[in-house]
């Protein structure tokens, strides 16, 4: 699983940060999911060498323009750039269906593939698809804003062929049955349990992506025990009053949430343009937002446009943050 940050700015694009858009690539298959679609997202796709044809799901956290204005253009360009007729589903708060219908009607845009629009309002499970569950919860942002917890199903445990051979089981169909968790009876009447030759299942990976929000319990609940928490850090703590008035979070506040939720890695995004003077090295140790967050939660990273992060399975070592 790989996270590709296509836009990491807040409010309006700057010369170094486009506005919100995050792509999630899966290990197997060609599916790609997009979370938020700010202005210029389709250009960022091209620069990141990602294919619009692979996008099967788009999730919009809320209807502020910096998370939404790129969506009609991206959907239209998908028709032009690929001959594929594979459908696409857009998930978003109430109002997104009217927004897209009006945009397409006024511009006379006709899509060359089936588009499904699913509006949501209630917290709970939104998607169950190919071993991945997406759960949503409402946040605190002045308008309806949501966070997403993407949870993989557990992975089968490792099969120990040498243990099977020690019990006199020859390679063949019985191995497959044991790998799938089935107990088998050998021709001599002996029972071999799957548990005796297969390790325990490995917990699936969990990625939590929060829409814009002030600190709240729902955000902490979604983030609980996540491998990766992607959270807004629009302001530093010195601007906490502005953050509170605009229903945003500071770097310190999202780090405190990550610590209390026992996440493995926190990645900061949605950075205010007021910090663009220090953006020469956006993942630099000296960036004020990163410094502030790491004082509370050590394993914090700061995303920049086109930053890629590989989410390893729990049975693999955690990667170096900047490789």
Helices (H), 160-276: 161-166, 173-179, 217-223, 240-245, 251-261
Question: Beta partners for 246?
Answer: none
Structural contact between residues 183 and 174, judged by C-beta atoms closer than 8 angstroms:
no
Note the Cα 116 to chain centre separation in Å: 21
Cα separation, 5 vs 306, in Å, equals 5
Task: Indicate if 66 belongs to the active site.
Answer: yes
Q: Look-up: residue for tokens 């850090």?
A: 233
- Residue 259 contacts by C-beta under 8 Å, 6 or more apart in sequence? 296, 297
- Give 289: exposed, middle or buried? Use CB within 10 Å, 0-12, 13-18, 19+: buried
| Options 27, 36, 66, 305, the catalytic residue | 66
Q: Write the CA distances from 302 to 26, 231, 250, 258, integer angstroms.
A: 22, 10, 13, 14
- Residue 176 contacts by C-beta under 8 Å, 6 or more apart in sequence? none
**Active-site positions?**
66
């Amino acid at each position: 699983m790989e996270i590709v940050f296509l836009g990491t700015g807040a409010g309006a694009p700057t010369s170094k940060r486009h506005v919100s858009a995050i792509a999630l690539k899966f290990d197997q298959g060609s599916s790609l999911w997009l979370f938020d679609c700010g202005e210029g997202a389709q250009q960022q796709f091209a620069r990141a060498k990602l294919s619009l044809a692979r996008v099967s799901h788009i999730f919009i956290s809320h209807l502020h323009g910096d998370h939404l204005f790129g969506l009609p253009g991206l959907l239209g360009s998908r028709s032009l750039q690929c001959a594929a007729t594979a459908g696409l589903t857009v998930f978003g708060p109430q109002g997104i269906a009217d927004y897209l219908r009006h945009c397409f009607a006024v511009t006379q845009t006709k899509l060359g593939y089936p588009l499904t629009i699913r509006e949501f309002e209630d917290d709970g499970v939104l998607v169950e698809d190919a071993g991945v569950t997406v759960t949503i919860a409402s946040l605190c942002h002045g308008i309806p804003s949501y966070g997403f917890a993407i949870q993989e199903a557990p992975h089968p445990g490792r099969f120990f062929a040498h243990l099977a051979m020690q019990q006199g089981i020859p390679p063949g169909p019985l191995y497959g049955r044991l790998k799938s968790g089935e107990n088998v009876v050998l021709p001599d009447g002996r029972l071999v349990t799957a548990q005796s030759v297969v390790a325990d299942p490995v917990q699936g990976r969990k990625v939590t992506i929060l829409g814009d929000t002030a600190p709240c319990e729902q955000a902490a609940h979604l983030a609980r025990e996540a491998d990766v928490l992607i959270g807004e850090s629009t302001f530093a703590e010195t601007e906490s009053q502005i953050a509170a008035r605009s229903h945003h979070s500071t770097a310190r506040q999202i780090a405190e949430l990550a610590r209390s939720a026992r996440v493995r890695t926190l990645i900061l995004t949605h950075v205010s343009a007021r910090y663009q003077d220090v953006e020469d090295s956006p993942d630099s140790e000296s960036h004020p937002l990163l410094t502030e967050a790491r004082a509370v939660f050590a394993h914090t990273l700061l995303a920049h446009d086109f930053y890629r992060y590989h989410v390893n399975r729990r049975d693999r070592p955690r990667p170096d943050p900047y490789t």
